[in-house]
Every structure is written in structure tokens, then in C-alpha cells.
Structure 1
Amino acid sequence: MARCFGSLAVFLCVLLMLACCQALSSNVDDGYGHEDGSFESDSLIKLNNDDDVLTLKSSDRPTTESSTVSVSNFGAKGDGKTDDTQAFKKAWKKACSTNGVTTFLIPKGKTYLLKSIRFRGPCKSLRSFQILGTLSASTKRSDYSNDKNHWLILEDVNNLSIDGGSAGIVDGNGNIWWQNSCKIDKSKPCTKAPTALTLYNLKNLNVKNLRVRNAQQIQISIEKCNNVGVKNVKITAPGDSPNTDGIHIVATKNIRISNSDIGTGDDCISIEDGSQNVQINDLTCGPGHGISIGSLGDDNSKAYVSGIDVDGATLSETDNGVRIKTYQGGSGTAKNIKFQNIRMDNVKNPIIIDQNYCDKDKCEQQESAVQVNNVVYQNIKGTSATDVAIMFNCSVKYPCQAAVGLLCSSTISVVAGGGGRGAAATVGTPASMQLRHVLSTQPSMSWSRLSDKWRPPQSRAKMPAKTDKMVMTAKITTSVSIERWSELWHGWSREGGSMYMVLGVVVVPSWSSSLAVTPNMRKSLESESLSGVLVGAKVTRNKCNVWLN
């Protein structure tokens, strides 16, 4: 009996020891910040909209020590001559598979020669991609035989910060590609060229303090990403380099670009199909083709873009200012777009909407078009290198809906001397507007101050039919503290047996007691060929809004 009790006591002790060990093991942190070993990447990192910095919540920070994986430890020479592609691949494999907070490091002070390379996730806990040195693209076309469209690709990695430390450079060495472009040499066939840096299918991404230059084609392409911050990025390429867009945005949602300087041979920023909620702040652009939404609807395709807000930009000597361009024959919508607080210096085409865009020698006249809705321009000022500062070339069947609001201290004027370099300091006459098939975004506003004898139709359905000849040039002069308006001319115009209302309004500065109407202004307003366009103005204290219809 005593032997039985002794055996039972030993058995109970063993059970007690096993229970204690199990309890202790259940409370061990696995390095992902969760006791149960689960990993919730969606909630781990949030984007701070104030400074575009990705930060870990304190409650979710992994308890394991951080680690750095340097390409130098995997054989990268960094002498600018040796091919370091394989060393980078080995280092990436290690960094992507490491537990805990991991940094992929490209050391400063060295130049790494790379062929086309793909950095593919998903990764366990990679949080930082530091480019402190220079990445230099191979100039041999054979090094891109497997992928002619890309040089550097980063894809399928979430919660990542790409930091150049203000010294990191991505150099596409694009000169050899530009020389062989059909846009430079018409005798050569058009061939594909690589995009320097492609960011694909990334969520919670931060790009900062990086310099990108001389891409073979597009500099940075952001595709199918969500929640992206781009800050303090400098992008450069010669003004005559073909197709070297600065930042190209495709099918990306919730992206903010701020405090960046872009000068290229194409669009500084281009926004294409599937992009939503794009914010652009404090941008310097030039040389280049300005800020473009589109091209949209190519090859009769559907395209959707919405929620674009450009607030604070300076454009200097660019071919275009802010532009929306859609191919004829396309479909879909581009809507809820705002351009405000923008300065333009010697820009050739400051404000453009073109629903009939075509880059071919011959284009079929197609009625279908991408609908352009709710576009607002506000406080845009500077100098135009051409006579026309605002041009809306909209579709007959799907007319634009746009509003132009100009702060009364602002105007766009023609640069004296035809807009040549160095002439921007001398401001000539106010530039004009050319409008085709534009519907007001304020169809129900009262215009009683413009004419006591006439009221515009209160619904779009009652508006006169639009015609192909509906083009009007209007001159709008603004100054500080405008508090009153003056009606210049209005009346009926006849064309093709139909009657149209043509109304021209010029806002008068408060310091002016009368308005001098030049013969050219009166002639343009009274021309019957300008029928079908309605221009009106509503003035409040220190602000004048001009609506185009």
C-alpha cells in the first residue's frame, strides 16, 4: 500500500510539472507581437497623414531585436563595374525570410551595377528598404531580355518604408535608350524601354528622401498599391528625354505626394485608370509636361479616376500645366477633381481638358468619350507662353462639367514677346479661354445680377443643343478686392436656324470706374460663330468665381 501511495505521488508531481511548462510556453512572445503567433499586417502599421511616416503602434512592436541585412555581406562589390545582381538577390532572400523587424540595406558611398531584378514578397517582417548608395542600371539591352519593361521591381510587400536618406540615388542611365527611341530618331522602330522603379501591389508604403534620375523610360511607377506616402523625392531627366514620366500612378488608392521636385521629358505626375484619392501637395514641376490625368480610354477602353486633389504646386516652363486628357471612343468617368493654389511661370498650355485626345496621324471621329465631371480650378495664377490659357475641348455627346474659380488677386497672363525664355518678368495682356461643350457645375445658381431681363434655364435639359462650332474666347481680368462686376455684352446669336444665348462678362476691379472694351474683344463676343457658350460670374468679397457653361 505504501508503495502505491509513493507511485501516485510521483505521478502527480510529473503532471504538475507538465502543466507549469505548458503555461509558461503559452506566454512566450513569438517575435510577431502576438502571444498566439498570429500576424495581423493590416493593423500593424498605419500611415500618418501629417508627415507621411509609417510608424509601428507601441502595442504591436515586436519584442525581438531588429536586424539589418546588408548587400555587402553577400558579395556586393559596389565598384560600379561588377555586376552585383546575384548578391542583391541573395541578400533579399535573407531579409525577406528573417523574423523580427528587418532592414534591407544598400550602404552609402558605393555604386552598385544591376541588371533587371525583382524584389518579391511577401516577407515575414521586412520593414525598411534603405537605399543609401547609388543603384546604377546596366546599359546592355541583353541584360533585360527576361523583362524589357522593368529594371527594379518591388512587389507584394506590405508595411514597408523605402528611404534614400537624402543620399540614395536610383540612376537609370537612360541616355542609350533615348538615343534609340523612335521619338528621337523617326527612322528607328519603336521599342520598349524599362521603367526604373516599379512599386507593385504594395500596401502601407512610404517612399521618402530618394533621388531618381535618367530613367530609361518612366522614373517611378506606382501600380495597384493602397495607402502610399511619397515625400521629399527629387526626380530629374533632360527635358527632351522621351517618355520619362516622373511619377506614374495606375490603379492605386489613397496616395499622397508631397514636398517633391520633379523635372523630366514627360509628365511630372501622370494619373491613370483605376486611381482614387490622390493628393498632391507642395510640388515643384519643370521641365516636363505638367500634371496629367490620363490618357484615359485608349483603344475604346473603360477608365475610372476620382478624388484627385492638387493643392500647392509650382510649374515652370512646362509644355502643359494641369491637364485632363481622354481618348475619343473611350468610356467611364473622371470625376471629383480639384486644382488649387498653383503658380505657373511661362507655361505653354496652363489649363486643358481634352476629351478628343489622339496621338495618331489619323483618328476616327467617335462619339463615345470618358465623362469628365465636377472639375474645379481655383487660385491658379502666373504667365502663359501662349495666347490661350484655358482650353476645354470637350465631347459633343458627353460634355465636360467644370468650374473655374480665380482668386481676385490672381490671373493668367500672356508673356510678352511670345513666351520666350527670359521674358516671363514682363506680363502682357490677360490670356484667353477657348471652350467647347462645357456644362456648368452650378446650373441652378441665380444670375440675376448679370441681367435683370433674363434668367438662364434652371436645368440642363432646357439648355439649347450644343454644336460643333461652339467655341468662345473670353478675356477675364482680375485684381485685388473686387467687389462689383460689370456686364460687358449679351444677346442672341443665330446659327443653323437655332437661337443660342451668348453672354460675355468681365469682372471689373474696384479701383476702375469704367471698363474699356477693345475692338477685338467686342468683335469676338459679337461673332455668330461663337454661339452656344455661356460665361457668367458671381462675385463675393475678395473672391470672384467664374463658371463656364
Structure 2
Amino acid sequence: MATARVIFFLGFALLSCSLIGASRGLENRRSLFLPILNNDTKVFDVTKFGAVADGETDNVDAFRAAWGAACKNSTSRAKVLIPEGTYRTAQTMFAGPCSSPKPITVEITGTVKANTDPSEYVSPEWFTFQDIDGLVLTGRGVFDGEGPAMWPFNDCRQTKSDCAPLPSSLKFYKVNNSVVTGITSLNSMQFHFHVHGCSNVSLSKLNITAPGNSPNTDGIHISSSDMIKVFSSVIGTGDDCISIGHSTTNLTVYNITCGPGHGISIGSLGKRPEERSVNGVTVTNCTFVNTTNGARIKTWIGTVAAEVKNVTYEDIIMKDVQNPVVIDQNYGSRLSREPSTSVWKLSDIHFRKIKGTTVSNIGVSLQCSTRNPCEGVEVADIDLGYAGRLNTTFISSCSNAKPIFGGMLNPPPC
């Protein structure tokens, strides 16, 4: 019996590892839970807990009841099902830790619509997943943030820091060893997806959409997280398609179509003293279409020293992008031409094999700090056409880089 048990657990471990590996190196590989649904899976249909698919009834209590039963009271693997139909809900939290066997699945086949009464939100999140190890969020369903009804309440540009941010559609906080796949996010009030304090999470096959002029609707914002993978998704929104915040490590992004939007950006960083370094970001095989930026790193001048290092943007296609490659260490300053004195350090940064077209004559702009000059910035094989001809300008505040005009761009490293 003991031998059979050892063989069972060894087989399960090998199967898990073969399904999904982590993004960085053999030494850091960890398996991700996948929806292995069979006859032993117990389904907790929200309609059995009182949810009404009329597009008007607030279903928050029914959703919470279904989640509570699945998370705490199941002796077999559990799945919360939001079936076809339109379900409205106010601020909702699916919180762990769960005592049911891992993974716990939430499957969306219907449409979930946000309540548009601002007084219903006591914090800037609409739908939160928190303190869960082994979550699978999946399905062909839609989270509709009802942004057009809420965007007029966004006053942060006018009031600066004295404002209440609108809720993000989907917040993941302390969610580990998990998979998010197949979900559509429509017209978020603020961020579509917000990943914070998470580890070993895969996000794929997402469809994220909002108008290009919608305020602060970042597609996916990632901060204080490790070993996150984002891939095979289409993101078109009013801010960064993917924004990478402070304290992020070992992030892999690939096969993303971005546009409209502000590109895939690291930062902004350094605005708040509690922010810490970013280390290990790889963005490959992505396409940017009619975006204001492409591959971008941006830092405020800042007050606490930190760094961005080990970053690669490679095999990127730009289609009519305004600012294809950008380092801006003077972000947020009113004196945009003043040499930056940012206390953030940038090193081991690589922009490689970036091709396509730009709607400006500046293909690469590296504006580095004079206090902490960029180190180890590689710009190689840049081929960007402007106004029907190859005419890409390279500008840099690095002391050993000179302006280069023309097609293939291989300046000396900073």
C-alpha cells in the first residue's frame, strides 16, 4: 500500500510539471494547477444560491454564498459556475484560504456586469480574488465594468493625488499557483486586471477591450509579484496594455497584440517612497498597432534609491507606433528637457529585433538619469520606417551614444 501511494503521488507531480512550467530556469520551476475536472468535481451553480440573470438584480450575496460553500465546505474539488445570462453585482470578494481540495475553479459562461453606483465601492476594486492557493479562473464569459457610466467620475487628472481612484475590474491579491484563461474584460472602470502580491500565476487567452480614450484603463497591471506569465492575449484599451509596477520580479510576456493603448511599460516607478526594484522582465513576440508607445521604461526622479535591471524587449513588431522605444527617467517632470536626476538605476536593458513603422521620426529615445547613468543598454537590429521610408532617429543622453539616422540601428551600448 505504501509503495502504491508513493507511485500515485510521484505520477501526479510529474503530470503537473509537464502541463505548465514556470517562466525562469530549471531551478525555479514550479507547477501550476490546471482545471482537471472529472466526475469528482462538485459544481456550485450561483443560480442555486439565488442569483438572478435579469441584468438588474444585485447578486453579490448569491455569489458570495456559492463561493463560501465551494471554498470551505466541499470534500471534493469544487467549481463555482456563473452560467449563461447577465448577472449584475456590486463589490464582490472571493477570499480564501480554502479548505476544499486544490484547485478551486471559477467558470464564467455568462456576463457579469458591475453596479454603477459609486457609493457601493468602499475600496477601488470591483471583483477581488484574495488569499487563494490554486485558483483556476476560466470560461468564455465577460466581466463588463460598465466604464462609460463611471468614467465621468474619474477626476484624478484634475485633482492630482487628492482623488478617489475608480475600481479595477479584477483584482488578484495574494493569489498563488494559479491560472487565469479565456476571460473577456470589457470597459473596466479603471484597470482591467490588477495582479498584486502574487506568485506563480499564468494569464492567457484574454480579450481586454476599452476605447482608446478611456481613462486609466490599463489592461493588466502587475506589482509586488514574482513568476507571472502573460501570453497569447489581445489587449486594446486607453492606457498601458500591460503596466509593470514596483517590486516585480521574473515576469514573462509573449505573444501579445496591443492596440490601442500606451504600449507595454515598466513604470512609472519612484513616485512613492515604498516602491522597490524591478528585476527580470522579458517581453517577446509582441505586436503593437497604432499605440502611443511601444517598449517603454519610465521613472520619476524619486526619493528612495532602487533599480530596474535584467530587462529584454525582443522580436517586436511595430505598426504605426508613435514612440516605439523609450527610456524616460524624467517622467512626470514639468521640465521635460531638464537632465534627469532620478535616483533609480537602470542596467542590463536590451531592445533587440524591433521592426515595423512609426508615425514619428524618433524611433528610439533613451533619456537617462545624469545622477545614475544607464548601464548596459543594448539597442540592436532596429528597423523602423517613417513616412514611407527608413528614417529613424536615435536620441540618447548616454555619453557614448551618437545620433544615428537610417534603417538598421546598432549604436554602441550605453
Q: Distance in 2 between matches of 1:221 and 1:198?
A: 5
Matched, 1:137 2:111: no
Rounded Cα–Cα distance in structure 1 between residues aligned with 2:326 and 2:196:
25
Listed one character per residue, the Cα deviations across residues 276-295 of structure 1 (whole Å, up to 9, x for unaligned) are: 11111110000000000011
Instruction: Find the counterpart in structure 1 of residue 413 from structure 2.
Output: 548
Asked if structure 2 preserves the Cα contact closer than 8 Å seen for 1:438 and 1:548, the reply is no
RMSD: 3.2
Aligned length: 396
**2:27 paired residue number:** none
Q: Following the alignment from structure 2 to structure 1, what is the Cα–Cα distance between the partners of residues 163 and 351?
A: 37
Q: Is the 8 A contact 1:184 1:242 kept in 2?
A: no
Alpha-carbon spacing, 1:363–1:151, altered in 2? closer, same or farther (3 Å): farther
Q: Is 1:413 paired with 2:414?
A: no
Question: TM-score, normalization: structure 2?
Answer: 0.87
Contact 1:245 1:267 in 2 (8 A): yes
After the TM superposition, which residues 64-79 of structure 1 pair with which residues of structure 2 at under 5 Å, given as runs?
65-79=40-54
Tell me the residue number matched to 1:161. Answer: 136
- Equivalent in the alignment of 1:307: 280
Partners of 2:136 and 2:400 in 1: how far apart? 44
Deviation at 1:231, TM superposition (A): 1.0
The CA deviation at 1:215 is 0.5
Matches within 5 A, 1:75-86: 75-86=50-61
CA distances 1:43-69 after superposition (whole Å, capped 9, x unpaired)? 996560399994579xxx999932111
Match of 1:336 among 278, 299, 310: 310
Residue identity in the other structure for 2:135: L
Query: So what's the TM-score if we normalise by structure 1?
Result: 0.67
Pair 1:437-2:386 in alignment = no
Bigger relative contact order, structure 1 or 2 (CA pairs below 8 A, ≥6 apart): 2
Structure 1 residues 44 and 82: CA distance shift in structure 2, 3 A: farther
- Seen in structure 2, the aligned counterparts of structure 1 residues 62 and 132 have a Cα distance that, compared at 3 Å, is closer
Alpha carbons of structure 1 residues 62 and 173: separation in structure 2 relative to 1, 3 Å: closer
Which of 143, 165, 168 is the matching residue for 1:192?
Answer: 165
CA–CA distance in structure 2, aligned partners of residues 53 and 170 of structure 1:
27
Change in 2 beyond 3 A, CA 1:53/1:373? same
Taking the aligned partners of 2:71 and 2:337, their CA distance within structure 1 comes to 49
* Residue of structure 1 in register with 2:67 after alignment: 92
| Correspondence 1:329-478 to 2 at 5 A | 329-330=302-303, 331-358=305-332, 367-401=341-375, 402-406=377-381, 411-414=383-386, 416=387, 427-437=388-398, 472-478=402-408
User: Which segments of 5 or more consecutive residues in structure 1 lack a partner in the other structure?
Assistant: 1-23, 35-41, 417-426, 441-471, 479-543
**Residues 1:242 and 2:219 are matched in the alignment:** no
Superimposed CA distance per residue, residues 307-359 of structure 1 (whole angstroms, 9 cap, x where no aligned partner): 11111000011010110001113421100000110000111110000111116
Identical-residue share of aligned pairs (%): 34
Structure 2 CA distance for aligned equivalents of residues 262 and 297 of structure 1:
26
Which whole-Å deviations, capped at 9, do the CAs of 1:488-523 have from their partners, x for residues lacking one?
xxxxxxxxxxxxxxxxxxxxxxxxxxxxxxxxxxxx
In the alignment, is the contact (CA less than 8 A) between 1:300 and 1:328 conserved in 2?
no
Aligned twin of 1:527: none
In the TM superposition, what is the alpha-carbon distance from 1:301 to its structure 2 partner?
A: 4.8
Q: CA 1:548–1:438 in structure 2 vs 1: closer, same or farther (change >3 Å)?
A: farther
1:431-472 Cα shifts (integer Å, max 9, x gaps): 1011003678xxxxxxxxxxxxxxxxxxxxxxxxxxxxxxx5
Alpha-carbon shift at residue 89 of structure 1 (Å): 1.1
Distance 1:392 1:215, change over 3 A: same
- Going from structure 1 to structure 2, the CA distance change for 1:289 and 1:361 (only over 3 Å counts) comes to same
Residue 20 of structure 2 corresponds to residue 48 of structure 1 = yes
Structure 2: runs of 5+ lacking an equivalent? 24-29
Please tell me whether the aligned partners of residues 174 and 216 of structure 1 are also in contact (alpha carbons under 8 angstroms): yes
Asked if 2 retains the 8 angstrom alpha-carbon contact of 1:392 and 1:438, the reply is: no
